[in-house]
Structures are given as C-alpha cells and as structure tokens.
Chain A
Amino acid sequence: MFGTVMGANQSYPIAWPPSSTGKPFAVSEEPRLYAQVPAHVREQDVLVTATPIHQWDISTGSLSSEVGRLFNWFYLQGVRVRQQGEVYGYLLRFPDIIEAVKQAVLIAKDRLQEAQLQLEVYRDPEGEDEHLVLYARFPVYDETVMERIRFARRQYRHLLRGKSGWLILTTDFHQPEAGGGCLSIGQNS
C-alpha cells in the first residue's frame, strides 16, 4: 500500500481501494495511520488516501532518466566519468549506443581487471568528430597492454555497427587516479 498525505486546504477526493471496505475515510477515523503523520501536520485536518501498488505504472519513454540510471551504474561499476555534462549530453543525443557502452564497460572490467576505467567525450579540435572514449589506466604498462585492449575492443565493436554514436576503448598511458567512481550525491540537510 502507498499512502499520500494532503492538507485540508486541498479538496481532493478521499478514496479506498475496492479490496477494502469500499468506504472513504478521514485519518482521524484510523488512529494507526494517523499516528504516522508528523505532529505539525496532524494539527491540520489531514486526509490519507491509500492506493494499491499495482497501479504504479512506469513510463519507459524518458531518455534523461535512462542516462541518469546509466550514470549510477557507472558509479557502481567504478567507472570514472570526466566532463560529466558532456558525457551526459552525448548519451542523450546518441542513445542508441547505451547498450554498447554498457557491454564495453563489462568487457573491459572482465578483460582488463587491474585497469581503472575513465569515460569522457573526445572532440577532434580540427574537425567535427566527436565520440566517447573509455580509457583504461594501468598501474604498470607492459608490452601486452595494447594487445589486450585490442582484444577487448573486438568483443564489443559489432554492437556499434550502424549506430549514430561511437565509443573507443584505449589507453592514455596515465596512472590510475585515487578513488573509484567520481559521482557523489550532494549532502543535503
């Protein structure tokens, strides 16, 4: 069940799901529910409406929600995102590569286990080319690194075929930076 709390100055109808008594009620008639309402709100004439959760329908058409969820997923996977606004904007414009990006991250994590992954947007300073780059940064670089990266690339590249966006897995030969994912939730009081 999901309860909603409303002040008396709002004149919304009171309802109760069909499975119950069928009678509308005010909170004051239901002491158990009433006790859950904050005291300063209870001083007003509060009404509670309960709704069966099966009616919570999910809209699936939002791209920004999907990209937002992807950023949370990057965080959980320990992927650092540099220029977050740029990456966010790129994925909103080219959402058809979202699946390929996820697969590339999973493959890189599996094949390049000691590497730190960092995602950013690359812009060609002399042209209009723009794409995502997933950098793998290793604590130690040896002669096998590039071959392992190329092998990982081959595992996901087919997913980018015919897509409007592009992603490349490579390295910039930098050392991993301290910390995991770079997203932090603001401290709210």
Chain B
Amino acid sequence: MGRKYANPPIEEAVCEFRLTPATRWDLTVPGLLYEKLKESFPQKEQRLIQEVELTQGPEGFQQQIRTSERLLFFTEDRKMLVQVGLRLLVVNALKPYPHWKGFKPRIAMVWKILQNTVEVQGLERIGLRYINRIELPAQNVELNEYFEFYPFMGSRLPRHATSFLVGVEFSYADDRDRCRVQLIPIPPLGGEGKAAFMLDLDYFLVRSRDVAPTDVLNWIEEAHSRVEEVFEGCITDKLRGMFWEVT
C-alpha cells in the first residue's frame, strides 16, 4: 500500500490498451462501446488525432505522420474520459485524481465492456501513465532539495541551467515491462516567481502478447505498485511534505 496525499501533483492518469491486429475490429465497434459506456460516460465527442511514428530501419530513422479518428466519451463532470481508436482504448482521469480506489474500478469496468464487445486476441501494449505537475514556490531551485531524480552536471559545467530533459527506462519482470521516467521543466501556470516540472511516469508492456487478456487487471495492479515505488523514489521528503500526506 503506497502513501496517500491530500494534495497529489497528479495532473492526469492514463491507462491504455492497444490490441493486436489479430483482434477483429470494424466501424461498428466504437458505437457498440458507447452504448455500453454511456451511462457512466455520456458526453460523446470526436477528434482527429495526428500520431507521429518513428521507426528505425536499415536506412536510419523514418518518420511517419498518421491521422486517425478518435471518439472521446466524457463523464458528466468531464473529469474522466474513455478514448476509442482503431484497436485502441484509453481511460483518462484528470485532476483532481480520484485515487486508485476510484480509478481502478473504472479501468476494470471499461476493460470488461471491451471484452464483452470484441474478442480480444492479444495485447500489443498496455500502459499505465501518471503525469505529475510539480510547482515550486521559487524560480531558482536546487533540484536535489526536491528530487532524487535529476540530471547530473559535472564540476566543469556551468552551474546555471535554464532547461533540461532527463529520461530513464527501468526494466521489470525480466524486461517484459518497462517504466519510463522523465523530468522536464515546464512553464508554471501559477504565475511569476515559480518553477514547474513535469514528472512523467509511464509503466508499459514492452513484449507484446506476453500478458494474456485474462491477466490484464493483475498486470495493472502490479504496474500501479511499481509506479508508486518509482514516484516515491523520485522525490525528497521536502517535496513529499508539499503534497500533504494522509495517514
């Protein structure tokens, strides 16, 4: 059981299922899903999404931009939504985060409805991602006061950096899964004199098809535990204190 905060920095939690091409999917599927989801997610919208795919081939990197249609089903208060694309299902929880006991049942419900609608042959990717926005009350901050995950800069480098990007992938379950951790400075929304950072934790299945559809909810529970561990490992007690731990 992880720590619980009254003022968590979670901006968004995302659970994503990408099904393997073997799963039959046609134009009627989004409508069928909406019929079953509309009691909880009544507000239906449509978007065109541009996806950039980077592939590494014998001639180097190739970039392909794809445009795809996505349906969005929002709850009445627009704090939670389900996105449906081609063999793709995403459950998002926006701020204020409903805590795991509120988010997981929604994921389980959506997953069950998906299984009742299409015959899921396999999972290409499952991801559980937490995007944290951390605003600090000073423009100039010593990162090590707040984070235990930050870029190392050697003694011969300038002491004053205006921006950085740091990212690491940790391997889990014999490299079946990975947890990508990224820390990036972002513009503060709370006005001048503040510094803001995005701590992005994305735990995902690397080896497609290695999790059977029947094991998905166990995988998600495990992913959540790992993300909690990594989050706690990224921050100091000083930062933890700003989130008001609930005992």
Contact = CB atoms under 8 A, between A and B. Distances in A.
A49 interface: yes
Interface stretch (B105-113, B193-201, B212-220): B193-201
B125 interface: yes
Interface in A100-128: none
A22 interface: no
Contact of A54 (B43, B56, B185): B56
Interface string B14-36: 10100000000000000000000
A139 to B, nearest CB: 26
The winner among A71, A183, A188 for most chain B CB atoms within 10 A is A188
Interface residues of A, number: 47
B148 to A, nearest CB: 11
Interface in B121-160: 125, 127, 129, 131, 133, 136, 139-143, 152, 154, 159-160
Interface string A8-30: 00001101000000000000000
B131 A65 contact: yes
Contacts of A179: none
A189 B140 CA distance: 6
A150 interface: no
Interface in A50-68: 51-65, 68
Given A4-B170, A186-B195, A187-B195, A61 B83 contact: yes
Contacts of A99: 47-48
A180 interface: no
Contact of A93 (B14, B78, B180): B78
A85 B133 CA distance: 12
Given A38-B154, A186-B185, A61 B52 contact: no
Interface in B31-79: 43, 45-49, 51-56, 72, 78
Contact of B127 (A59, A92, A184): A59
A185 interface: yes
B168 A4 contact: yes
Given A54-B55, A164-B43, A188 B185 contact: yes
A84 interface: yes
Contacts of B92: 61-63
Nearest to A186: B195
Interface in A122-139: none
Contacts of B198: 68
Contact of B194 (A15, A65, A186): A186
A60 B43 contact: no
B171 A13 contact: yes
Nearest to A74: B187
Nearest to A163: B45
B149 to A, nearest CB: 12
B8 interface: no
A11 to B, nearest CB: 11
Contacts of A163: 45
Contact of A188 (B49, B78, B141, B187): B141
Contacts of A15: 171, 175
B120 interface: no
Contacts of B194: 186
B161 interface: yes
B161 A186 contact: no
| The 3 nearest A-B residue pairs measured at CB | A186-B195, A61-B90, A54-B56
Interface of B: 11-12, 14, 16, 43, 45-49, 51-56, 72, 78, 81, 83, 88, 90, 92, 94, 125, 127, 129, 131, 133, 136, 139-143, 152, 154, 159-164, 168-171, 174-175, 180, 185-190, 194-196, 198, 200, 202, 204, 206
Given A62-B131, A64-B12, A162-B46, 4 more contacts: A5-B168, A15-B171, A38-B152, A75-B187
18 contacts: A4-B169, A4-B170, A51-B169, A58-B52, A58-B54, A61-B92, A61-B129, A62-B12, A62-B129, A63-B81, A75-B187, A88-B189, A93-B94, A96-B46, A163-B45, A184-B187, A185-B187, A188-B164
